[in-house]
C-alpha cells in the first residue's frame, strides 16, 4: 500500500519508551460489546438466581486473574504480576459485594448491579492524584471482567493481534498491557495516561514503543491507517513519510557497551540504570549498565495489602547486588507521599501533596518503623554480596533531617551487631531534589559519601511547576538556567566535600544533554536502561574541555532558549 499518499499528521503525547515502531492502526474498545441496555422490570428478576450468577462470575474472575498473574510473572516479572493480586482483592472487596447484593435486592440483574456498585469507588479514585488515580483503571478492569463473564461477551484477544499492529485505545489497563506480545505489537498509543501508569511501566519492561496521553486527537486516526509511534519524541504520526518510516524501522543503530565508558580524553563517567523492580535488572545488564543508580523501592510496596518484611526486602536488595558483582547499586529508601501514595500507609490528603510529607519526612515520622526495617534489610544485603551497596535518602531539605537519617543507620547497625547478624555499612548519600538541599549542598556533602541529583523533583520545585500539571509543562524543563545553576552548585559542593555526585532524574537519560552534564562535572548518570547505549556513545565522543566550555556557557545563559542554542551547537559539531 502507498503509505505516503496522504500527508503525515503528527500528534503529541508522552513518550514512555525510547523506541519507535511502525504498523497498522487497530482500535481497541474493550467495552464495545459490553452495552448493558435498560434493565428488565424488578418483578422479572429473581434475586437468588442473580446472586448465584454473581458468585459464579466472581469464581471465574478469580481463576482468570490467577492465570493472568502467572503469565505476567513469567513474561514481565513477579512485581508487575502483583497487580493481579490487587485485582483479586477488588473481586472480594466487601464494599463492592455489599453494593452488588443491595442492588440485586432492589431488583437489578447481576450485570446492572455490578455496573452500579463500581460507580462510586471508581469515581472516588478518579478524583485523586497521580498513582491513586490509576487505581480507577484497576477497578474498571475488574468491573469489565465481571461484566464480560456475566454477559458472555467475547474478550478481545490482545495476545493474538496481527503482527505489525499499532494498538490505539482510550486507555489500557494492566491486564490489557500484560497480554501484549512485543513480537507482534509494533507499538501502542493511548488517549489518556501518564508516564507512571501501569501501561507505561509495562511497556518499558516489555520493550514496546509507546506514547500515552495523546488526547482526543488520537481519534482522528482510523483503523488500518499506517501509524508510527515514536516513544522517544512522544509523537504518533499517521501516514508517516518514507523517511520517517525508515528512521523508525532502522531501529537503534547503537552499540551496546558492556564496559564502563570514558570521554575521548579519558574521564570516566559511570552510566547506570534506574529500576523499580527486579524484573528490570536483566534489561539493565543487557543494555550495558555499569550498575543501578536509582532503585525506586516504593514499587516493592505498591499493589499489595501490607509492606514487604525485612527478609523479603533483604532478598530483593541482595539479588540486585548480585546482578552487578563489580558494580554499584544505589537503593533509595522509601519515597512515598506526593504522587506516590500507598493505600495501607495512610498518606493523608493534602491540598498540595508535593509540598507535604513525603520521602525522608515520612521515614523520620509516621513510617519510622518501615524505615528501620528497610535499613536492616539493606545493611544485611550489603554484607551478603561483593558489589557496592549505596543507600540514599529522598527529599532531604535540611541538615538535621540528614543527620537523623544517618543516626538511624548507625542505630540499626548497632542493633544488628548486638544481635550477631552479619551486616555492613553501605555508602550513604543524599538526594538533591529540593532547592533547599541545593542551597546547603556543601553541608550535606560533608556528611555523606555521595549526592544524587533528582532533576524531576528539583525542576518542579525550582520552577514551581508541579510534575503532573500539563498547564505548566513548558516551565518544567531542567535546562532552565535556574535549574542548571542548582546543579552547578551541587557539583561544586560535592567536589569540596569529597563526595561523588550523580544524577538520576530523567535529564540524565537524554543523550543530547550528555556533553552538558559531563561538562558540569557529574561522575555518574542514571537513567531508564533503554537509553544507556546512546548516552554511553555520546560520552565516548566527548572532549572534556569542550564539554566544560559548554557547561560554562549554559550556566551563564539568561534563558533556556540560549541554553539549547549552546547545546545544539555542540551536538551538531
Residue range at the interface with ligand PEP (CB under 6 A); choices 147-155, 449-457, 484-492, 528-536: 449-457
Which of 378, 504, 513, 567 is in the footprint of ligand PEP by CB under 6 A? 504
Q: How far apart are CA 80 and CA 322, in angstroms?
A: 21
Q: How far apart are CA 486 and CA 481, in angstroms?
A: 9
**Is residue 433 a known part of a binding site?**
yes
CB 296, min distance to ligand PEP, A: 5
Which of 226, 385, 457, 524 is in the footprint of ligand PEP by CB under 6 A? 457
CB 563, min distance to ligand PEP, A: 19
Report whether 238 contacts 221 (CB < 8 A): yes
**Is residue 352 a known part of a binding site?**
no
Cβ-based nearer residue to ligand PEP, 130 or 260: 130
Cell digits of residue 98: 455489599
CB 314, min distance to ligand PEP, A: 22
**Is residue 553 a known part of a binding site?**
no
Active site residue 479: no
Report whether 263 contacts 540 (CB < 8 A): yes
Q: How far apart are CA 289 and CA 502, in angstroms?
A: 14
User: How many residues lie near ligand PEP (CB under 6 A)?
Assistant: 10
CB 194, min distance to ligand PEP, A: 12
Specify the 3-state DSSP secondary structure of 198.
helix
- State which H helix or E strand residue 27 sits in: strand 20-28
Residue 80 touches ligand PEP, criterion: CB under 6 A: no
Residue 456 touches ligand PEP, criterion: CB under 6 A: yes
Q: How far apart are CA 380 and CA 385, in angstroms?
A: 9
CB 456, min distance to ligand PEP, A: 3
Cβ-based nearer residue to ligand PEP, 187 or 509: 509
Cβ-based nearer residue to ligand PEP, 42 or 482: 482
Residue 521 touches ligand PEP, criterion: CB under 6 A: no
Phi, psi of 165 (to 5 degrees): -85, 145
**Is residue 332 a known part of a binding site?**
yes
CB 472, min distance to ligand PEP, A: 16
Cell digits of residue 188: 501502542
Nearest to 122 by CA among 106, 134, 104: 134
- Letter string b/e over residues 250-282, b meaning 16 or more CB atoms within 10 A of that residue's CB: eeeebeebeeebebeeebebbbbbbbbbbbbbe
Active site residue 198: yes
Residue 444's binding partner, choosing from Mg ion, ligand PEP, none, with beta-carbon cut-off 5 to 8 A by kind?
none
**Is residue 71 a known part of a binding site?**
no
**Is residue 469 a known part of a binding site?**
no
Burial of 151 (0-12, 13-18, 19+ CB in 10 A): middle
Which one of 11, 87, 112, 198 is the catalytic residue?
198
* Site residues, Mg ion (CB under 5 A): 433, 454, 457
Strands 500-503 and 450-453: parallel
CB 274, min distance to ligand PEP, A: 7
Which of 455, 490, 528, 531 is in the footprint of ligand PEP by CB under 6 A? 455
Q: How far apart are CA 558 and CA 283, in angstroms?
A: 39
Nearest to 287 by CA among 258, 310, 308: 258
Specify the 3-state DSSP secondary structure of 316.
helix
Which of 293, 454, 511, 533 is in the footprint of ligand PEP by CB under 6 A? 454
Residue 455's binding partner, choosing from ligand PEP, Mg ion, none, with beta-carbon cut-off 5 to 8 A by kind?
ligand PEP
Report whether 527 contacts 536 (CB < 8 A): no
Residue 433 touches ligand PEP, criterion: CB under 6 A: yes
In the bound complex, which residue of the shown chain has the CB atom lying closest to Mg ion? 457
Residue range at the interface with ligand PEP (CB under 6 A); choices 13-21, 85-93, 367-375, 452-460: 452-460
Cell digits of residue 444: 550535606
CA distances from 201 to 15, 20, 142 (A): 12, 16, 19
CB 393, min distance to ligand PEP, A: 12
Contacts of ligand PEP in 281-340 (CB under 6 A): 294, 296, 335
Report whether 520 contacts 488 (CB < 8 A): yes
Residue 195's binding partner, choosing from ligand PEP, Mg ion, none, with beta-carbon cut-off 5 to 8 A by kind?
none
CA distances from 54 to 103, 137, 291, 410, 545 (A): 12, 21, 50, 55, 70
Question: Grid cell 514481565 — which residue?
Answer: 76
In the bound complex, which residue of the shown chain has the CB atom lying closest to ligand PEP? 454
Residue range at the interface with ligand PEP (CB under 6 A); choices 24-32, 184-192, 256-264, 453-461: 453-461
Which of 231, 288, 505, 533 is in the footprint of ligand PEP by CB under 6 A? 505
Q: How far apart are CA 287 and CA 273, in angstroms?
A: 9
Active site residues per annotation: 198, 504
Which residues contribute to the annotated binding site for phosphoenolpyruvate? 296, 332, 456-457, 467
Binding site for ligand PEP (CB under 6 A): 294, 296, 335, 433, 454-457, 504-505
Residues that constitute the known binding site for Mg(2+): 433, 457
Amino acid at each position: 500500500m502507498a503509505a505516503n499518499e496522504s500527508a503525515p499528521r503528527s500528534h503529541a503525547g508522552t513518550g514512555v519508551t525510547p523506541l519507535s515502531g511502525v504498523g497498522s492502526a487497530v482500535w481497541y474498545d474493550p467495552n464495545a460489546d459490553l452495552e448493558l441496555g435498560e434493565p428488565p422490570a424488578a418483578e422479572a428478576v429473581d434475586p437468588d438466581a442473580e446472586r448465584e450468577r454473581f458468585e459464579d462470575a466472581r469464581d471465574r474472575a478469580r481463576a482468570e486473574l490467577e492465570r493472568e498473574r502467572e503469565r505476567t510473572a513469567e513474561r514481565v516479572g513477579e512485581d508487575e504480576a502483583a497487580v493481579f493480586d490487587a485485582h483479586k482483592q477488588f473481586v472480594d472487596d466487601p464494599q463492592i459485594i455489599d453494593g452488588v447484593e443491595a442492588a440485586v435486592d432492589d431488583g437489578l440483574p447481576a450485570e446492572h448491579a455490578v455496573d452500579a456498585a463500581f460507580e462510586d469507588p471508581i469515581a472516588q479514585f478518579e478524583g485523586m492524584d497521580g498513582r491513586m488515580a490509576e487505581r480507577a483503571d484497576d477497578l474498571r478492569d475488574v468491573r469489565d471482567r465481571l461484566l464480560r463473564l456475566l454477559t458472555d461477551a467475547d474478550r478481545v484477544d490482545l495476545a493474538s493481534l496481527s503482527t505489525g499492529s499499532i494498538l490505539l485505545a482510550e486507555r489500557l489497563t494492566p491486564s490489557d498491557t500484560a497480554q501484549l506480545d512485543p513480537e507482534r505489537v509494533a507499538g501502542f498509543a493511548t488517549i489518556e495516561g501518564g508516564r507512571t501508569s501501569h501501561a507505561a511501566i509495562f511497556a518499558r519492561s516489555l520493550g514496546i514503543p509507546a506514547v500515552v496521553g495523546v488526547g482526543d486527537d488520537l481519534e482522528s486516526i482510523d483503523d488500518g491507517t499506517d501509524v508510527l509511534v515514536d516513544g522517544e519524541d512522544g509523537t504518533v504520526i499517521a501516514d508517516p513519510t518514507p523517511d520517517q518510516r525508515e528512521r523508525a524501522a532502522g531501529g537503534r543503530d547503537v552499540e551496546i557497551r558492556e564496559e564502563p565508558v570514558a570521554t575521548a580524553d579519558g574521564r570516566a563517567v559511570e552510566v547506570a540504570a534506574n529500576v523499580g523492580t527486579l524484573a528490570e535488572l536483566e534489561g539493565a545488564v543487557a543494555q550495558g549498565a555499569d550498575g543501578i543508580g536509582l532503585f525506586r523501592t516504593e514499587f516493592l510496596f505498591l499493589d499489595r495489602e501490607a509492606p514487604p518484611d525485612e527478609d523479603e526486602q533483604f532478598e530483593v536488595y541482595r539479588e540486585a547486588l548480585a546482578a552487578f558483582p563489580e558494580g554499584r547499586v544505589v537503593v533509595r529508601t522509601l519515597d512515598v507521599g506526593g504522587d506516590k501514595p500507598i493505600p495501607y500507609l495512610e498518606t493523608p490528603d493534602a491540598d498540595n501533596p508535593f509540598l507535604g510529607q513525603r520521602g525522608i519526612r515520612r521515614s523520620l515520622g509516621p513510617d519510622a518503623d518501615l524505615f528501620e526495617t528497610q535499613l536492616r534489610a539493606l545493611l544485611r544485603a550489603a554484607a551478603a554480596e561483593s558489589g557496592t551497596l549505596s543507600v540514599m535518602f529522598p527529599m532531604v531539605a535540611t541538615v538535621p533531617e540528614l543527620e537523623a537519617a544517618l543516626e538511624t543507620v548507625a542505630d540499626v547497625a548497632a542493633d544488628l551487631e548486638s544481635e550477631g547478624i552479619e551486616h555492613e555499612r553501605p555508602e550513604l548519600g543524599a538526594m538533591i531534589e529540593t532547592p533547599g538541599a541545593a542551597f546547603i549542598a556543601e553541608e550535606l556533602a560533608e556528611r555523606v559519601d555521595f549526592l544524587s541529583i533528582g532533576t524531576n523533583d528539583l525542576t518542579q520545585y525550582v520552577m514551581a511547576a508541579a510534575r503532573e500539571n500539563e498547564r505548566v509543562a513548558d516551565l518544567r524543563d531542567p535546562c532552565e538556567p535556574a535549574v542548571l545553576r542548582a546543579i552547578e552548585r551541587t557539583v561544586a559542593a560535592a567536589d569540596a566535600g569529597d563526595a561523588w555526585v550523580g544524577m538520576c532524574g530523567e535529564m540524565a537519560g537524554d543523550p543530547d544533554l550528555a556533553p552538558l552534564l559531563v561538562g558540569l562535572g557529574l561522575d555518574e548518570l542514571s537513567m531508564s536502561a533503554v537509553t544507556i547505549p546512546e548516552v554511553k556513545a555520546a560520552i565516548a565522543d566527548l572532549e572534556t574541555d569542550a564539554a566544560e566550555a559548554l557547561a560554562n556557557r549554559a550556566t551563564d545563559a539568561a534563558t533556556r532558549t540560549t541554553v539549547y542554542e549552546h547545546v545544539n551547537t555542540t551536538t551538531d559539531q
